[in-house]
Amino acid sequence: MTATLPRRDADAIARLDATDQAGLVHSGQITATELVEAAIERIERLNPLLNAVITPTFDLARAQAAAGLPHGPFTGVPYLLKDLAIEADGVRFSEGSRFLAGNVSRHDQELTRRLRSAGLVICGKTNTPEFGMQPTTEPLLHGATRNPWDVTRTTSGSSGGSAAAVAAGMVPFAHGNDLGGSIRFPASACGLFGFKPSRARNPVGPQYGDVAAGFAVEHALTRSVRDSAALLDATSGPALGDPYPSWPAPVDGFAAAVDRDPGRLRVAYTTRTPDGQQAHPECVAALDNTVALLASLGHEVAEEDLPGLDDSVGHAIGVSYGAVVTWVVEYWTRIVGREPDVDELEPNTWAMWQQSKSVTAGAYLMAIMDLQAFARAVAGFFTRYDVWLTPTLASPPLPLGAMVSSPDDPWRSARVGGPFVAFPAIVANITGAPAMSVPMHWTEPTPEAPQGLPIGVHALTRVGADAMLFSLAGQLERAQPWAHRWPALAFEELP
């Protein structure tokens, strides 16, 4: 192979997960430069259609690969950063907002440094909705990211650009973060494994102490379970001054847990949303089939709803999310030196900001208190069960545009998006517990989606039980593999 790879070689590399790509570098069968060139070839070919990568950093990536890389678990493997919360010095950082269109980062986040220390080569930044607050990746600043399985449909959000890039094989895995489902929702919509770690597993500093009382976490979207676990081994652990202690990691690491039998687990499940509605039939089928598979693997299964999800919890979530929007706008106002004008924020963001200005500090703390009380109820539930299963999303991916607000209808994204993300993925963020979306089902084929659309199944467990969840994910992956499934456009000629 040469540094400029022909398409057939780039495509062959793209079929490998990050662990196998790193293995080629470690064994001397390929160079880091060749891996990076393979990723660049695929990004340049596929991105004009998908709009997943909004800030390429190809020259920096080439220079990084040529200069020599740390010997880590992923030496030479190309990687993409989501354009939200995580910063890379000297790279545009817009968080999907016209208010920050020309903003450039002046430092690396601690997680960025750890990713580089693991040997990863950062090739660009991926698309995200404005400030990550929408369940679809269609910001006015950068335009819509299209789902590789059906380019007329959403990738969900907010890690939608990263999800599209991994699903199409631009890179083997990519960064995501999660305030209420933003890793897991796009994983479901794009047929990937999406793992949300326990609170404080990965650092969010030095710029942030925490985000929304610890709701937000950092990690990745991957094709294989082992990539997710090995990456968490490489990046997790406390940083100086972190406000929360990190739960102890397993002595042998998370990657070792993937191959370990999880034992007989007590699994609760429901196909009903908190308001009692049934999910789309394809999402119900995904869950039913997974429950049957788990029973055949020897797990104890029982249908039961999660306790405590009442109107007071919903109100507290609304108050806390409003406070997040207010904090984000005020944070960037401090950095930019002025408040945004109405045409610099999207209609839904502006409406949330204006509405939440009237929320007092006391009301916010009352909301956090109510959510912490709910977290205690959830902890009680997990003394009786090990895992709670639901569909990740309440329907297959919606058409692009369905969840986009307008000045005349600023609440449309919430009104349409709410039922789409009706299952309470945010419980993991409230409680600090690990959770995951596993690609367990595809819909029937259609002309627009000849391989069908992916449907994820969501699993929530108790706080700190990340290793157990990885063991369950590994068992499901062995029993019902998904890595062989690719959207047609990933390896076909594009028009």
Catalytic residue numbers?
82, 158, 182
Cis omega (within 30 of 0) for bond into 206: yes
**How far apart are the C-alpha atoms of 284 and 396, rounded to whole Å?**
11
**How far apart are the C-alpha atoms of 121 and 434, rounded to whole Å?**
27
Which of helix, strand or coil describes residue 455? Answer: strand
> Max Cα separation, the chain?
63
**How far apart are the C-alpha atoms of 254 and 141, rounded to whole Å?**
38
Determine phi and psi for 219, rounding to 5 degrees.
Answer: -170, -125
Q: Is 106 exposed, middle or buried (0-12, 13-18, 19+ CB in 10 A)?
A: exposed
Determine phi and psi for 216, rounding to 5 degrees.
Answer: -80, 140
**Which of 130, 46, 67 lies closest to 343 in space, CA to CA?**
130
**How far apart are the C-alpha atoms of 46 and 89, rounded to whole Å?**
26
Instruction: Look up residue 45 and give its two tokens.
Output: 């070919």
Kindly give, in sequence order, each residue whose CB lies less than 8 Å from that of residue 202, ignoring residues fewer than 6 positions away: 111, 217, 218, 219, 232, 235, 236
Q: Is 55 exposed, middle or buried (0-12, 13-18, 19+ CB in 10 A)?
A: middle
**How far apart are the C-alpha atoms of 428 and 382, rounded to whole Å?**
12
**How far apart are the C-alpha atoms of 140 and 129, rounded to whole Å?**
8
Rg (CA), the chain: 21
**How far apart are the C-alpha atoms of 222 and 322, rounded to whole Å?**
30
**Crossing angle (nearest 10°) for helices 110-117 and 225-235:** 110
Residue identified by tokens 């709701």 is 215
Amino acid at 274: P
C-alpha distances in Å from residue 390, one per residue of 176, 178, 312, 379, 458: 21, 18, 22, 18, 5
Is 189 in contact with 167 (CB distance < 8 Å)? no
Is 132 in contact with 182 (CB distance < 8 Å)? yes
Amino acid at 166: V
Alpha-helical regions (H) of 15-147: 18-26, 32-50, 58-67, 110-117
- What's the gap between Cα 375 and its chain centre? 22
